[in-house]
Amino acid sequence: MRILGAMSGWLIAAIAIGVPIAFALLFASVASSFMIGGTATEPAIIAAQLLRGTDSVSMMALPFFILTGEIMNRGGMTKRLIGMFNVSIGRVRGGLGYVVILATFMFGALVGSAVASTAALGAILIPMMAAAGYDRDKAAGLLAGTNMVVPIMPPSIPLIVYGATAGVSITQLFMGSIAPAIYLAILMCGTWFWVSRKDAVQTDVPWPGWGQFFKLVGSGFWAILLPVIILVGLRSGVFTATEAGVVAVVYALFIGLVVYREMKFDDLISAFVAAAKMSAVVMFLAATAQVAGYYMTISGLPDVVAGIMEPLVDNPTMLVFVLMVFVFLLGLILDVIPTILILTPLMVPVLQEAGVDLVWFGIVFTLANVLGLITPPVGPSLNVASAVGKVKIERVSITVLPYLVTQLILLLIFIFIPQTITVPLGWLT
């Protein structure tokens, strides 16, 4: 316990002074190794664990899906999705709000990152809603809250990281997350209807005629087809999750270069650079988390956690509930990926002892984690929505509350009624 306490103290101290989480993990791990002594201090062990953290076929899917999102975003997909949804449902009362929700739902199936989706869509949709007469604060809150569907909708980056860390089938996680993503989208529509019931705007979107309508729908169809190809290919066993990432990149390149013809050489280079940077951040986090996990293991932390949770092993539902409360509170100060990488190796042995379905748990765990994206003080999606919407973060924090509350309720439903996830998963597998 002395070593564990010291590791936690060093980690918290490093984060408090602004050290990036990956370097803070590495610093705390190395410092702990000197307390353990012996061979634990050998640089070769640290280097081996760093390599082991990224030496995973499943983790290789991550950079491909990140690159897919970058290519599609630069290849004209965003404005085509928005145009298609705007001409079809933007004409109803409060319609632009539903356009935001549907665009987020589909964009999330291409990007897999809530923060990236908030930035890409917010720059277009918040000014569009403000120009149409919607309250800018509510528009920013809607965008931040609705983007919680993105890390759940396959191909989800957090689910890939969880699957690789916990040794769970990413294909199963993707299939299992389809129903929860649909629940979230429907719930966001209902929440927006309630929030905007008194001041929803009847946007005057001119009818373009059937010819132009079908042209817009046909243009957006190519973007919508990508997640369908991925899910059908995974379901049929034609390719694995990692191979699906490669297929997605090739398809995105084809659409951007040949079909839409909007992607230039400079766009392609910037997409590769952006994807490389984001992939490097996640991969380095995975590597340092593996080092921290190694020293936690030889320090006996898994046994400590198992001992604390032992009274709840006979009641899996309460075990998961207690863990999710802890995860939600931790998510207030830590980002999604570090939380998953740090906690997954500690929780999986206890969950296996309790007989918990690790696919179901991974989806619940991911949702509990991503709620931290819209909660202060960190709230990355909250900060991005505030920046792109040019709204004070204090005001966005208020307008996002209805979405946070309804998502917390949905999380509780998932925990206490697991059939809401497991039954649809059974239909798809």
Residue 182 confidence (pLDDT): 92
pLDDT (mean) for 10-22: 79
- Residue found under tokens 């993707």: 174
Query: What pLDDT, in 10s, does the model give residues 293-333?
Result: 777 777 776 677 777 777 888 899 999 999 999 888 887 77
The proportion of the chain whose per-residue pLDDT surpasses 90, expressed as a percent, equals: 15
What one-letter code names the amino acid at 264?
K
**CB-CB contact of 120 with 144 (8 Å):** no
Task: Give the residue, 293 or 159, on which the prediction is more confident.
Answer: 159
Mean pLDDT calculated for residue range 182-201: 84
Q: 93: which strand partners?
A: 202
Instruction: State pLDDT tens for residues 217-251.
Output: 777 788 778 878 888 888 788 888 788 888 888 98
Q: pLDDT (tens digit, 9 = 90+) per residue, 102-116?
A: 888 877 766 667 777
Residue 402's nearest CA partner among 126, 173, 195, 234 is 195
pLDDT at 69 over 80: no
What are the CA-CA distances from residue 339 to residues 25, 74, 290 (Å)? 12, 30, 13
Q: What percent of the chain has pLDDT over 70?
A: 92
Q: Which residues of 154-193 are buried (b: 16+ CB within 10 A; e: fewer)?
A: bbbbbbbbbbbbbebbbbbbbbbbbbbbebbbebbbebbe
The reported pLDDT for the residue numbered 187 is 93
* pLDDT of the residue at 357: 94
d(Cα 200, Cα 319) in Å, to the nearest integer? 42
Distance set, CA 310 to CA 304, 319, 320, 357 (Å): 10, 9, 12, 18
For residue 4, is pLDDT > 70?
Answer: no
pLDDT band at 196 (very low <50, low <70, confident <90, very high): confident
- At residue 329, the pLDDT reads 84
Distance CA 127, CA 130 (A): 5
pLDDT of residue 18: 78
Cβ 349 vs Cβ 361: under 8 Å: no
Which pLDDT belongs to residue 133? Answer: 79
pLDDT by residue (tens digit) across 258-271?
Answer: 888 888 888 889 88
Helix (H/G/I), strand (E/B), else coil: 392: coil
Q: Are 259 and 79 in contact (CB under 8 A)?
A: no
pLDDT at 363: 94
Query: Containing H/E element for 377?
Result: none
Confidence band, pLDDT 50/70/90 cuts, at residue 339: confident
Give yes or no for a contact between 52 and 283, defined as CB atoms under 8 angstroms apart. Answer: no
Averaged pLDDT for residues 4-18: 76
Q: What is the pLDDT of residues 360-413, one digit of tens each?
A: 999 999 999 888 888 876 677 887 888 888 888 888 888 899 999 999 999 999
Q: What angle do CA 146, 147, 148 make, to 5 degrees?
A: 90
pLDDT at 173: 92
**Residue 272 scores a pLDDT above 80:** yes
Question: How many angstroms separate the CA atoms of 45 and 297, rounded?
Answer: 14
